[in-house]
Amino acid sequence: MKTRYTHGGDEHIYVEIDDEMSLDAFFKSLSMSKAVRDAEIDGVTEICPANASFQVRFDPEVIDPEEMMSRVKKLEAQADQTDKRLNTRIIEIPVFYQDPWTHETLMRFRERHQDPSGTDLDYAARINGYDTAEDFITAHHAQPWFVSMVGFVAGLPFLYQLVEREKQLQVPKYLSPRTDTPKLTVGHGGCFSCIYSVRGAGGYQMFGITPMPIYDPEQKISYLEDFMVFFRPGDIVKWKPVDRAEYDEISAAVEAGTYQPRMAEVEFDLEKFNADMTGTNAKLMEALNDA
C-alpha cells in the first residue's frame, strides 16, 4: 500500500491508504485517524474516516496547511505499528429477501437497469455464477460482513463481506440511479452491501428489506435512545433471512419499543482472520449464537 496525501482547499487534508478497499487498508485508515485524534493537534476540527481513506478538517488560522500535512504524515509510522485487533460487536440483522416493496420499486425502474427482463436478484445471481436467486441469497447471508464506513446518508452503513476476495459478491450499480428506494432496503453496489437508512434516491441493486430501523433522529426507538445512529465502523453483521410473518412480528416489536437487536461482544483479529477466514467466521457466528 502506498499512502497518498493531498490538500483539499485550505481546510482539508485527504489521506488515501489504497486504491481499493481491503481490511488491511481499513485498519490502517482507522489507526491513522485515531492517531490524529489522539495527537490533539491544535486547529483540527473534524476527522472523517472512510472505507480506505480519511479526511482531516482544520482551521488554517490556527495551523498552517503545510504544517498540518507534515504532522499527519509523521503519524503514519505509528499507525503501521498498531496492533490490528479490534474489540467490536457482531449483530444479527433480519432481512426479508424478495419482499414486495423493493420488488415494486425495482420493477418501476427497469429501464435504468442492466437487465430489464428480470429482477435485481436474478441479475446478481447470474453474473456471480449462481443458478438461482435463492442460491445467491444463501451466499449473501451465509458469511458475516464488516462495517467499514458509516455515512454518505445519515446512518447508512457500508458493509464488506468477510470472505476471500475471489468469493466476494460483485454487482454493479444501476446504469442510471433510481429516484426512489424504500427505507431500510438492503442494497449492493460493487463489493459493498448497505442498508438505506432513509427513503430516497439510490443506485444499488435491491435484494430485500430489514424491519430493524438503524437511524432515528428523534431517538424514540428503544435501542437508539442513546444515539440516533445504530452502526459504527468495525461492527460485524450477520444477515438473518426472515419471512413476511417474522418481518411483521419484528416491525410490531419495534413499534411497541420491545425489540432489541441480537448481538455479542467479540474481538476481531485481522492477522488471525487472514490466516484462517473460515475458522474466524465460525467463531464470530458461534459468539452470536451463544448470545
- Which residue matches cell numbers 485527504? 14
Q: What percent of the chain has pLDDT over 90?
A: 85
Residue 83: pLDDT over 80 = no
Question: For 156-215, what is each residue's pLDDT tens digit?
Answer: 999 999 999 999 999 999 999 999 999 999 999 999 999 999 999 999 999 999 999 999
Q: Are 76 and 12 in contact (CB under 8 A)?
A: no
Residue 13: pLDDT over 70 = yes
- Residue 161, judged by CB atoms within 10 A of its CB (0-12, 13-18, 19+), counts as buried
47-56, 195-204, 259-268: the lowest-pLDDT one: 47-56
* Measured distance CA(117)–CA(202) in Å, rounded: 20
Residue 152: pLDDT over 80 = yes
> What is the per-residue pLDDT for 34?
87
Which class is 4-81 in CATH? alpha beta
Pick from 15-29, 71-85, 250-264 the range whose average pLDDT is largest: 250-264
Cell of 195: 442498508
Closest by alpha carbon to 212, among 251, 262, 158? 251
> What is the per-residue pLDDT for 283?
96
Q: b or e along 40-56 (b: 16 or more beta carbons within 10 Å of the residue's beta carbon)?
A: ebebbeeeebbbbbbbb
Alpha-helical regions (H) of the chain = 23-39, 65-74, 76-80, 100-108, 120-127, 133-142, 244-256, 270-275, 277-290
Residues 253-270 have a mean pLDDT of 96
* Measured distance CA(103)–CA(121) in Å, rounded: 10
Element (H, E) at 13: strand 12-16
- Residue 219, judged by CB atoms within 10 A of its CB (0-12, 13-18, 19+), counts as exposed
Which class is 87-290 in CATH? mainly beta
**CATH 3.30.1360.40 intervals, the chain:** 4-81
Residue 81: pLDDT over 80 = no
DSSP state of 8: E
Q: Are 105 and 182 in contact (CB under 8 A)?
A: yes
**CATH 2.40.100.10 intervals, the chain:** 87-290
Cell of 85: 485487533
> What is the per-residue pLDDT for 1?
64
> What is the per-residue pLDDT for 30?
85
- Quickly state the pLDDT bin for 82 (edges 50, 70, 90): confident
Residue 15: pLDDT over 80 = yes
> How many angstroms separate the Cα of 149 from the Cα of each of 50, 54, 235?
5, 10, 10
Looking at the chain, how many residues does it have?
291
Question: For 107-141, what is each residue's pLDDT tens digit?
Answer: 999 999 999 999 999 999 999 999 999 999 999 99
